[in-house]
Every structure is written in C-alpha cells, then in structure tokens.
Structure 1
Amino acid sequence: MASLAEFTKENNPNIRVLSGGYTLSNLKTILSVADKNGFGVVACNARSKYILNSILEAAWQEKSPVIVEIAESETHYCNMLPQRLSDLLHEGIKKMIAKYDYTVPVALHHDHVQKDVDGCVDRAIRAGFSSVEIDLSKLPLEENIAKCKEVVEKIHPFGISLEVEDGEIGNAAALADPDVEKNIEQYYSKIEECKRLCEEVRPEALAFFVGNGHGQYLKKPIIGFQRIKEICDAVRPMEVYGVMHGGSGLSVETFNQCIESGARKFNYATSISDIWFRYFPEELLARMDQAGEEQEKPRRKVLDQFEEEWDQLDFTEAEKEMTAHVAMMIRKAFLSSGKAELYSL
C-alpha cells in the first residue's frame, strides 16, 4: 500500500497555502497528537456557511483542533459540493487568522463516500481536501478492502488521509431486533474484522459500530465502551485511530468515556443543525416539512430546494448559539480546548 505522504504543496498541487505558510492538516497529523495526549477532536458537518462560520469561531475561541466535513449525500441536498466548501473554509480560516492572530489545526474531510466513490475522491483531491472516508460497510469485507485499497493508492501520495468503516453505523439489523438491548453486542463491529481491514488497507482512521447511530437517538443508546477499547488497542499499533459516528444526543460523560476507551474523532452534526433550524420562521419550516413529507425525506434533505429563501435570513443569533454550543462541547465533551498549542503548524 502507498504510504501517506506529507500534506504539502510539493506533494499536492491542490493544497492552498495561506499567510505564514498555513495549510490544512490531514487526520494523521490531527489524531496522532490527540491519541498521544488523550483527547478527542470534533468533526462537524458544514451543512451551511452559517454552520461552518460557527465551527471555525468555536475552534478559534477554544484554541482547539477541528475537523470540518461534508458527507457525499450532503453535497447535493446542502448545495455544498467539495469545491464550494473548500472555498468557504479557506476564506473562513483567513478571517479567523486575521481576527485572532493565531492558528489552529483544521482538517477538511469528505465523509461517508458510498455511491460515486471515484468521482467523490477525484473532486475532493481537486478541491484540496486533506481527508476522505470510504464507507462501504454494507458490503462484504473483501469488497470493502478491495475498493479502499484502490482509494489509498490514489490519495496517499497526495498526503490525503483515509478513514474506513467496519460495521454499519446504526446497524439496520440491530434497529429491527425487538430484543436489541439484550442482543446489542452481537451487532458491534468485530475486532478481527477491524484489524484485518486496517492491516490490508493501512488507513489513518477507522469508524466502527458500537451501539452508535446517526441523527438524534429515540432511546438511550447502549455504547460498547469495552469494544471501543478492544478495537482501538488492536489498530493503534498500525497508527490507526478510532472514530465515533453518531455523536448527537450522547452525553458529555459518554463522550469522555469514549475518549478514555480510545476513540479520537467524533462526528457531530445533527445537534448543531437542530440549533440552526430553530432560527427558521415557522411558516418556512412548515413548507419544508410538507415538501419533505411529499418526497419522503427528512427536513434537512430539502434544504437545497429552499436555499433562496433561507439564505436571505439573518442568522447572526443562530451563529452565536451554535458557536457557544460547539465551544462548550469542545471544552467538556471532547477535552480539546487549548490543545492547538500541541501542534506545530
């Protein structure tokens, strides 16, 4: 497998170099420091420029590393294609550096690439992304490994890190099991499968299913802290770091325990966009919900159809509340406040 090159302009002509030589960081850079120092790093989905502004403001206020990401599905319904997100992110970082006169490590990650793998990877490379996740967890392990190997050969020479996934997040079979609380452990990601996936592909990060799910939880999840520890201990010698998807709705204490068990990257999206939606006029939300109902989609998946309307709204107060929330989570849940100083940027 191609080893991960440095994320530099020499290795990757798509990288943008900002004032003082600042560039984005890949997951190896960000998560290796987190692992050595026992903290987590939040990965927030930039479903709008207002959410992106809040993520960056919180990271700079707290002097914390941060991962900005967008899932393949979100690029369409949020109108946030890789090039647009990269443009907005780099402009946002310039503003933060000008405002605060210091830097924090930022990764730009393409999350949950599942359908158009080659197209998404190519677009992420061209847009200057520093990381990609290939999520083929619904496929047999052999097929997952084979495709991830192809991707790692393509992106590692550019210094772009890879996240892989074993065990479907929010496992469909588990959700359908009437005795899921009793049987949950049988649905967790298997240690040996995770180990094999990482041995053969040599990624930088591994997402797993340990009772976590996307969106807000309808009932209290049963998180397998021991399984997190077992998986993270198994892949750490390969310099692969554990990823928890489905962070929204988990308690601060649960995040702390996940960090103690070895997880380092924490995806956190729904709780932030829920705050944003609270600042939409009721009449607009009603029409969005009606459109979603007619199309059998949740509210967020019709965002692009109403962008002309919501983009004219004043989200100043929404940004303040989202910033305060992300900053609080950085401090209390992910324990990464002040940790930017541990990185040499």
Structure 2
Amino acid sequence: MGLVTSTEMFKKAYEGKYAVGAFNVNDMEIIQGIVEAAQEEQAPLILQVSAGARKYANPVYLKKLVEAAVETTDLDICLHLDHGADFEICKSCVDGGFTSVMIDGSKYPFEENIALTKKVADYAHDHGVVVEAELGKLAGIEDAVNVGDHEASFTDPDEAVEFVERTGCDSLAITIGTSHGAFKFKGTPKLDFPRLEKISGLLPGYPLVLHGSSSVPKEFVDLCNQYGGAIPGAQGVPEDMLREAAKWGVCKINIDTDLRLAMTASIRKVFVEQPQVFDPREYLGPGRAAIKAMVAHKLKDVLGCAGKL
C-alpha cells in the first residue's frame, strides 16, 4: 500500500457510477478520523490539502501525517493539492511527493487558464503526477478562495471539451451550482443537471469533479448553534443530488465544510457540558470520532464507494 494517483480510482468510479470522496485535512485528528472510516468501509480515498492547510500545519507535517496513515492501514491513498493558485505551488507539491495537484486557473480568461493548466500538466506528467483543473467560477468562500455570487459562472460544455483537449488535464472541476462554504443556497437547492449531462456526454469516460459539495447536515448546524454557535440559515447540497451526479461522470466529490461542522459541534458540546475539561485529548477525541462517523456515512450512503477496494 502507499501513495497513488487517482487514475485507477476514477476509472473504477466512472464505470461503477459512484464517486470517490476527497476530504480536506488540516491536522492529525481530522486525518485519523477520515482514514479510520475509509479503512473500515474499505473505500478508495483522496486526502487533499488546501492553501490554508499548508499555511496552518506546514506541508511537511501534513505529508508525514498522511504517510503515517498509509503505514498504519492497508489503504492506497491519493494525496492531492486542492486549489493550487499558481505553477510554483503545484511544482512544489509535485516535487514534495504529492500524487495529484489541482491548478485553479478559473479566475483567468479562457486562454490564460489553458496556458497555465497545460504548463502544470506538462510538468506534473513528467513526474508521474496527475492534474485536476477548473473551468467556470464556483461561488463561496474556502480558505484563500473567495468568489462572490455575481462573479460565479457555470461551465460551458463546448469550452470544457476544448479545454481538456488542449491542456491534457486528467480531471476537470466543473461548475453547475455548488459553492464553497456553509451557505450554498438561498431558497431551494438546485443543480444544473442538464449541463452536467451534456458535459459528460461530450467527454465520455472522462472524470469530472464537484467542489463545494458538503451537505451541511441540519443536525450538526443545530448542534453548533445549541452550544453557542452562530451559523443560522446554513444550507448545503442535498445528498440525493450528489448521488445523482455520480451517475453522470462525477468521479470525485470534495467535502470540507461537513467535517468542520461535525468536529466543531462535538467540541462545543464537550465545552458546555463538561466545563472542567482542559485536556485537549478529551475534546479532540470526540471531534475525531465525529469526523469518522461523518465520513463513514458519506462513503456508504452518499458516494457509494464503500467496499470498492
């Protein structure tokens, strides 16, 4: 077992009409909770590191924690850079042992995005690393990514085909209505499935990616608020929509906010109900357990990738 690319994972996911979970990691407890769930569920796994995580925990620490996860399980794990901002960051991660990197050139005009993505893809491929790119602008806030609703734009199907052909990227993050953060919809949730079906039809066999796909479970929002939180009106992507997306070529679904909510809710509960606690293990332990339960649910009941190893 070891660190692997996502190539084989995506091939099996596409053929099986399920999605692989890509979970953002920031510290040891989050990694442990995710990995323990994937181990028990025998599910393929992508652990991804954002710019914020690299700044918070140091890339070397995160890489060593992921290596520890590989050594203590029988899992093959893909280590992925989430939202790489430029060539230098992607190159650093390729050189540092990541097996997958995302170059996010979605903020640039079409031709600039193509040029940047191709540059990253050429370098990464020369080193045996796969590349995810993004076309279309996803609304919402996540770490260094901050796009207002007025700036967001859905992916054009015809442009997607040209983009993939000209860049050589191995997977493509598309925009069909999801968004980063805990406040994804104002009103009734809706994804543009006709657009997804068209893109998938024009790129048969090609793995698509959905960012901003946390479901923001009401139970955890309520639990946070019950124990002193202030996140009213939070709303995510309904889980049945994610299951539907996996039928149309979406092979990777990114989940971060749900992990934050699960951990924060459990820690808040400990602080309120056990104010005498000051040993970090006594509140981080329940946080880790909440992460594990959340991920196990996603793998089994939403992504459909449990038992696929």
Counterpart CA distance in 1 for 2:81 and 2:259 is 18
2:197 is matched with: 229
Structure 1 residue runs without a partner (length 5+): 1-21, 97-102, 178-183, 286-308, 341-345
Q: Give 2:128's match in structure 1, choosing from 159, 173, 176.
A: 159
Q: Give 1:144's match in structure 2, choosing from 91, 96, 113.
A: 113
Aligned partners of 2:87 and 2:119 also within 8 Å = no
How far does the alpha carbon of each residue in 1:262-292 deviate from its partner, in whole angstroms, 9 at most, with x for none? 211000000111111124458999xxxxxxx
Aligned partners of 1:246 and 1:267 also within 8 Å = yes
Task: Give the secondary structure class of the aligned counterpart of 1:339.
Answer: coil
Q: Which has the higher helix share?
A: 1
Structure 1 residue 175: deviation in Å?
Answer: 2.0
Q: For residues 80-95 of structure 1, what are the structure 2 equivalents within 5 Å?
A: 80-95=57-72
Aligned partners of 1:189 and 1:210 also within 8 Å = yes
Counterpart CA distance in 1 for 2:244 and 2:22 is 18
Greater Cα offset, 218-227 or 57-66: 218-227
How far does the alpha carbon of each residue in 1:305-345 deviate from its partner, in whole angstroms, 9 at most, with x for none? xxxx99666411221121111101100100001001xxxxx
Quickly say closer, same or farther: Cα 1:176–1:155, change in 2 above 3 A: closer
Structure 1 residue 167: deviation in Å?
Answer: 0.3
Q: Identity of paired residues, percent? A: 24
Q: Give 1:125's match in structure 2, choosing from 70, 94, 110.
A: 94
1:38 is matched with: 17
Q: For residues 150-229 of structure 1, what are the structure 2 equivalents within 5 Å?
A: 150-170=119-139, 175-176=149-150, 187-216=153-182, 217-219=184-186, 220-229=188-197
Counterpart CA distance in 2 for 1:75 and 1:160 is 19
Structure 1 residue 80: deviation in Å?
Answer: 2.8
Counterpart CA distance in 2 for 1:125 and 1:215 is 27
Q: For residues 8-23 of structure 1, what are the structure 2 equivalents within 5 Å?
A: 22-23=1-2
AA matched with 1:105: D
Aligned partners of 2:91 and 2:123 also within 8 Å = no
TM-score calculated relative to the size of structure 2: 0.82
1:251 is matched with: 238
Quickly say closer, same or farther: Cα 1:310–1:127, change in 2 above 3 A: farther
How far does the alpha carbon of each residue in 1:129-167 deviate from its partner, in whole angstroms, 9 at most, with x for none? 100000110100100010111111111021100000000
Structure 1 residue 25: deviation in Å?
Answer: 1.6
Task: Give the secondary structure class of the aligned counterpart of 2:179.
Answer: coil
Counterpart CA distance in 2 for 1:62 and 1:283 is 28
AA matched with 1:85: L
Task: Give the secondary structure class of the aligned counterpart of 2:251.
Answer: strand
Structure 1 residue 95: deviation in Å?
Answer: 1.8
Aligned partners of 1:30 and 1:65 also within 8 Å = yes
Within the alignment, does 1:276 sit opposite 2:247 as a pair?
no
Counterpart CA distance in 2 for 1:190 and 1:212 is 15
Counterpart CA distance in 2 for 1:280 and 1:163 is 34
Counterpart CA distance in 2 for 1:31 and 1:260 is 13
Counterpart CA distance in 2 for 1:160 and 1:263 is 20
Structure 2 residue runs without a partner (length 5+): 141-145, 216-236, 273-277
Aligned partners of 2:20 and 2:253 also within 8 Å = yes
1:291 is matched with: none
AA matched with 2:241: T
How far does the alpha carbon of each residue in 1:155-213 deviate from its partner, in whole angstroms, 9 at most, with x for none? 10211000000001127888249xxxxxx9xx421001111110001111100110110
AA matched with 1:269: D
Aligned partners of 1:272 and 1:322 also within 8 Å = yes
Greater Cα offset, 276-285 or 135-144: 276-285
Q: Give 2:298's match in structure 1, choosing from 329, 332, 340.
A: 329
Counterpart CA distance in 2 for 1:164 and 1:279 is 34
C-alpha root-mean-square deviation of aligned residues, in Å?
2.4
Q: Give 1:104's match in structure 2, choosing from 66, 75, 86.
A: 75
Task: Give the secondary structure class of the aligned counterpart of 2:288.
Answer: helix
Quickly say closer, same or farther: Cα 1:173–1:110, change in 2 above 3 A: closer
Quickly say closer, same or farther: Cα 1:328–1:71, change in 2 above 3 A: same
Counterpart CA distance in 1 for 2:302 and 2:6 is 20
Counterpart CA distance in 1 for 2:34 and 2:261 is 14
